[in-house]
Amino acid sequence: MLAYLETQENFLGLAPEHSSEKALIAIQPIPYERTTSYGKGTKDGPREILRASHYVEFYDDEFDRELCQEVGIATLEPLPLKKLSVVEALALIEARTRAILANHSFCVALGGEHTITAPLIRVYAEKYPNLSILQFDAHADLRNEYEGSPYSHACVMARVAEFISPQRITQVGIRALCREEAEFIRSNKVNTFFASGLRRGVYGTEWIDQVVQTLTEDVYITFDIDVLDPSIMPATGTPEPEGLSYSECIAVVRRLVERGHRIVGIDVVELAPIKKLHHANLTAARLVYKLLNVAFSYEQLKPPVRSPKSRRTTQRQA
């Protein structure tokens, strides 16, 4: 049984009729924190995103719609992970995600540290054999092990690459990695777009198209908010300079959908809220809703993703 948060606590503060088990979209709070390396507090990320979301407008000017009221957005109760071992916690995340996708068309997971992405993608990879991954991140997260743990957030994409071909992984905004990771990227042909490369014109002026061309039809987005420049997103464990702007990230996702790719799932991870710094929390909340608006802007809705008919190639509708 899936349990949902009520209006006062749910994403956007939605009324019961727009946030029930019938909603197309589910928000899954995952307050998982075990291995953060520098600053701490990602376990509070989901709670603060939900709080801040009450100040996000329902209406989106780009699409001239109130998506949340049209399709419904239900918010699951935060997963109780505290007393579990790492392995148990990751198994529970995987199991609940499977249950959510049996009941809702679409899910956004809120971290928590980046480690949660591996069990999430495992579920999507079963459902979408053609899946590719779009990773927004300052860090490559491709270390085989970090501080003695294969489950560190610094290793999450190495874990994902164990069941998804590394060539199906596209990383954007990377600007902090070790030699081992650089060699993994080269030898396994990960599609990595370094932040410095974007600025130096290494990928040409149309780098967004270059990013989109690396991806298959069905795309899962893992959005580590440390991809954003620390000037707009200081509330994360390891903020790195030379980050992307909010608009650049949205532009990549918008182009993806315009080119006929389908976003099948999203996670937003690594918000580590700083007291009295509410703009960062609001940025994360707004990001979640904007990503949903873009994801649902073209074919996505008709028919719902869970219908087998929706497996056909989506057409650009711009």
- For residues 133 and 169, is the Cβ–Cβ distance under 8 A? yes
290 near Mn ion (CB under 5 A): no
Of the pair 114, 261, the CB lying nearest Mn ion is at 114
Q: What x/- string results for residues 82 through 121 when contact with Mn ion is judged by CB under 5 A?
A: --------------------------------x-------
Among 141, 181, 229, 240, binds Mn ion (CB under 5 A): 141
**Which residue is at the shortest CB distance from Mn ion?**
224
Least Cβ distance, residue 271 to Mn ion (angstroms): 12
Of the pair 214, 236, the CB lying nearest Mn ion is at 236
Stretch that binds Mn ion, among 35-43, 187-195, 208-216, 223-231 (CB under 5 A): 223-231
Of the pair 134, 305, the CB lying nearest Mn ion is at 134
Instruction: Give the full edge-to-edge strand order of the sheet including 169-174.
Output: 73-75, 25-30, 106-111, 262-269, 218-224, 132-136, 169-174, 191-194
137 near Mn ion (CB under 5 A): yes
Of the pair 24, 269, the CB lying nearest Mn ion is at 269
**CB-based burial label for 244 (10 Å; 0-12, 13-18, 19+):** buried
CA distance 61 to 81: 38
Least Cβ distance, residue 67 to Mn ion (angstroms): 27
Residues that bind Mn ion (CB under 5 A): 114, 137, 139, 141, 224
